[in-house]
Structure 1
């Protein structure tokens, strides 16, 4: 299998999957704290924009995927439906309700850091699309989440190194795109300094415990991708050599072996399809960061290919994977 590109055919297929669930309200898994009976409301009442796709964060990153697909293929058949969706949903009055929800004391940790990073990633993608009206509408919510990072990172003594939503390296990596897109040098500096504080001394990573039974990220590879994104090459390359010193020998072997998925109707086990896709994304980005002559580059590129081959056939089928996996397929194909 050659590494696919985001052809119009693939974009059309992925767009149809996302358009089929971003406004599908149920089933729904809300991340919602009730302070009183008045807070017992439906997902669309709580979140008039991001109420579909089974959960808030999957809805947000499905919007990101649709924005990316629209930017890449503005003339595809699904483009008109994406524009209509954005025109109806990404409007100031609906975003204001999302902001109001976020401002509640019970929402302080809402979707930290996974949803924070994805919302900022969406905001960076919307900048410049069409006349910029969708990005302008989303801007207050994006800035609220950026401020969440600014407030949280200085008091976060320790990183979170799991392979699920709580991984802090993923949040930093996605927020970096927003900092760049908005020209916020101070925010980018905070992200970089936090990454160095958390991960700068890491060396000889054994990838111990990977994968666990519900990982959809590699804690080792997303940390490496975070550092690649935030550090200049002259800092990143020596760090990467220390962090994973035996890549040329395909070690740690677990990072080069696609995960086995036994039941795609089980939402946690289905995460492992996402692990294969997110590993493909990270491996591809890391390969591209190495010089062409580097002996590790073909080893890493092959690992990316194997993981992409393992994940791509399972984008659709059961809703437990279908409501989110296409996003990670686009990351694997595009973000390298």
Structure 2
């Protein structure tokens, strides 16, 4: 097989990146400050009773409550601060989780796929931090429901926001790897190669300003998790719609856009880890910082921003750490 000069240069960068030093284990001071503020907001909304769900009853809706629990768990791993551990233990009870599981089983379309993907992210984080399996029964059911969903209807790479197949498969893959389920990881890998890496599959940057979840960044993140260095180099050289030209969303046009910079940062960190290209590091840092500043200015608007954007920020911090991005 021959590859283009662009793909060859990209592959060389990927190979160099694979030799990079591991991610730091201690937060930089500013990162710690950011994480603490984000966690305080997530804790506030998670403790509220905004709905009647037995566990995930705060933060206006089920998925935001689920990712608030994720954010508090991730905060502990990022900082070593157990300030929210007691709340999580009191919230994630066996009876409450059993009731949540019964509800999920009774409503196969509920929070499908977006909220369910966030629950898998919570499961993986809980397993990393505490090693316990209190979330395992519900996680198994949710993982199987995502496999069933994308078996019935092949994943659409351009599905946006609450329907995002990229985000769902990223978290399904993380779950499969965490529990060592080769059938799940194989399912995701096949979906990525057949749907997301297909020659005619393209992401439209013109669509990027819409919504809260970056379709192009999530797509790149997913492929980077699955492809070999050579596969990634060839695919990205043909697919890249110009992610290196991005600038952060300067003025969110609506409430949903307050999450856009953080969600771009997730994928940009994955591209930096895969390629070692400093442009993606710098873009990650710019988007992370812009997202944080916008959240800080708007955090008191609970319905528009305060119930969910902090959790996006925590995932941006966690992915930056995981991918070895140093902004400071």
Q: TM-score range by the shorter chain?
A: 0.7 to 0.9
Residue 235 of structure 1 is matched in structure 2 by 231
Partner SS state of residue 193, structure 2: helix
Cα separation, 2, equivalents of 1:128 and 1:277: 22
Partner SS state of residue 124, structure 1: helix
| Structure number having the greater helix percentage | 2
> Given the alignment, which residue of 62, 72, 78 partners 2:68?
62
Tell me the CA shift for residue 96 of structure 1.
0.7
**Which of the pair has the greater relative contact order for Cα pairs under 8 Å at 6+ separation?**
2
Q: How many residues align?
A: 290
- The question of whether the paired residues in 1 share the 8 Å contact of 2:218 and 2:266 is answered with no
Cα separation, 2, equivalents of 1:129 and 1:218: 27
Cα separation, 2, equivalents of 1:99 and 1:59: 15
Q: Is the aligned partner of 1:151 residue 2:148?
A: yes
Cα separation, 2, equivalents of 1:117 and 1:177: 10
Residues 149-195 of structure 1: CA deviation (Å, up to 9, x unaligned): 22122111351524311110110011111111111111000011112
Tell me the CA shift for residue 306 of structure 1.
2.6
Aligned pairs for 1:125-144 (under 5 A) are: 125-130=125-130, 132=131, 135-144=132-141
Tell me the CA shift for residue 208 of structure 1.
4.4
Compared with structure 1, are the counterparts of its residues 102 and 284 closer, same or farther at alpha carbon in structure 2 (3 Å cutoff)?
same
Q: Which runs of 5+ in 2 are unaligned?
A: 1-26, 324-328
Compared with structure 1, are the counterparts of its residues 146 and 219 closer, same or farther at alpha carbon in structure 2 (3 Å cutoff)?
same
Q: Is the aligned partner of 1:317 residue 2:300?
A: yes
Partner SS state of residue 46, structure 2: coil
Cα separation, 2, equivalents of 1:83 and 1:90: 11
Tell me the CA shift for residue 260 of structure 1.
4.0
Q: Which runs of 5+ in 1 are unaligned?
A: 27-42, 264-268
Cα separation, 1, equivalents of 2:284 and 2:203: 19
- The question of whether the paired residues in 2 share the 8 Å contact of 1:49 and 1:98 is answered with yes
Residue 329 of structure 1 is matched in structure 2 by 313
Aligned pairs for 1:160-309 (under 5 A) are: 161-202=158-199, 205=202, 207-213=204-210, 215-244=211-240, 250=244, 253=245, 256-262=246-252, 269-290=254-275, 292=276, 297-309=277-289
Tell me the CA shift for residue 327 of structure 1.
1.8
Cα separation, 2, equivalents of 1:204 and 1:141: 33
- The question of whether the paired residues in 2 share the 8 Å contact of 1:210 and 1:218 is answered with no
Compared with structure 1, are the counterparts of its residues 5 and 238 closer, same or farther at alpha carbon in structure 2 (3 Å cutoff)?
farther
Q: Is the aligned partner of 1:85 residue 2:69?
A: no
Compared with structure 1, are the counterparts of its residues 206 and 61 closer, same or farther at alpha carbon in structure 2 (3 Å cutoff)?
closer
Cα separation, 1, equivalents of 2:188 and 2:30: 30
Cα separation, 2, equivalents of 1:206 and 1:127: 33
Compared with structure 1, are the counterparts of its residues 326 and 204 closer, same or farther at alpha carbon in structure 2 (3 Å cutoff)?
same
Cα separation, 1, equivalents of 2:201 and 2:28: 32
Compared with structure 1, are the counterparts of its residues 59 and 333 closer, same or farther at alpha carbon in structure 2 (3 Å cutoff)?
same
TM-score by length of 2: 0.81
Residue 38 of structure 2 is matched in structure 1 by 14
Partner SS state of residue 22, structure 1: helix
